[in-house]
């Protein structure tokens, strides 16, 4: 129970930090991109998990009785994730099912990498032009400037030079 509570507190603090990071111009644009593509990207995530689930259950049914890496559904999903990272044993699949093994491998790699990743890139690419001209609001700029000056004066990093006539104090 303590671990879950600690994880929740860490999550809340990360969300607070992300809220403060909106004052950074680059991160403000990045968050605007995420907001702009939220609907399309959530539909993409749903489609990705449907495809991934189909492949996971299919590999369990196809190779579960012969290949140890697919003997349970959770191991099938784990092996598919490793396969998407480039870690896989082609020979095990070929020995288990000489015809379906290579067909499965080519289909999985083509669908996951060529099709789905290109869809994800296209979603991000359509959201970027909307945000390119996004500027930080003026009140946020003044807030950051004041925050930075207070931080510097608190730690003595930035001393204001006061001048009166020719004398510098």
- Quick: pLDDT tens for 66-83: 999 999 999 999 999 999
Query: Where in the sequence is the domain holding 57, given as residue range(s)?
Result: 37-131
The rounded Cα 148 to chain-centroid distance in angstroms is: 29
Tell me whether residue 100 is in a domain: yes
Tell me whether residue 125 is in a domain: yes
0.75 surpassed by pTM: no
- Give 80's contacts (C-beta < 8 A, 6+ positions apart): 52, 55, 56, 59, 108
- Quick: pLDDT tens for 36-75: 888 999 999 999 999 999 999 999 999 999 999 999 999 9
* Sign of the dihedral defined by the CA atoms of residues 69, 107, 109, 51, in that order: negative
Q: Give me the number of domains the chain comprises.
A: 1
């Amino acid at each position: 129970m303590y671990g879950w509570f600690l994880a929740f507190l860490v999550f809340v603090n990360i969300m607070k930090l992300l809220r403060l990071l909106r004052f950074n111009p680059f991160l403000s644009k990045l968050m605007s991109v995420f907001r702009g593509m939220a609907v399309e990207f959530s539909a993409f995530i749903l489609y990705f998990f449907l495809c991934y689930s189909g492949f996971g259950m299919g590999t369990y049914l196809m190779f579960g009785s012969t290949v140890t890496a697919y003997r349970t559904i959770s191991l099938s999903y784990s092996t598919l994730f490793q396969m998407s990272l480039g870690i896989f044993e082609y020979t095990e699949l070929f020995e288990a099912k000489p015809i379906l093994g290579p067909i499965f491998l080519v289909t999985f790699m083509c669908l996951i990498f060529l099709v789905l990743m290109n869809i994800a890139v296209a979603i991000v690419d359509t959201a970027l032009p909307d945000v390119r001209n996004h500027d930080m609001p003026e009140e946020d700029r003044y807030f950051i400037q004041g925050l930075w000056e207070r931080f510097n004066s608190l730690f003595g990093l930035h001393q204001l030079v006061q001048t009166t006539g020719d004398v510098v104090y």
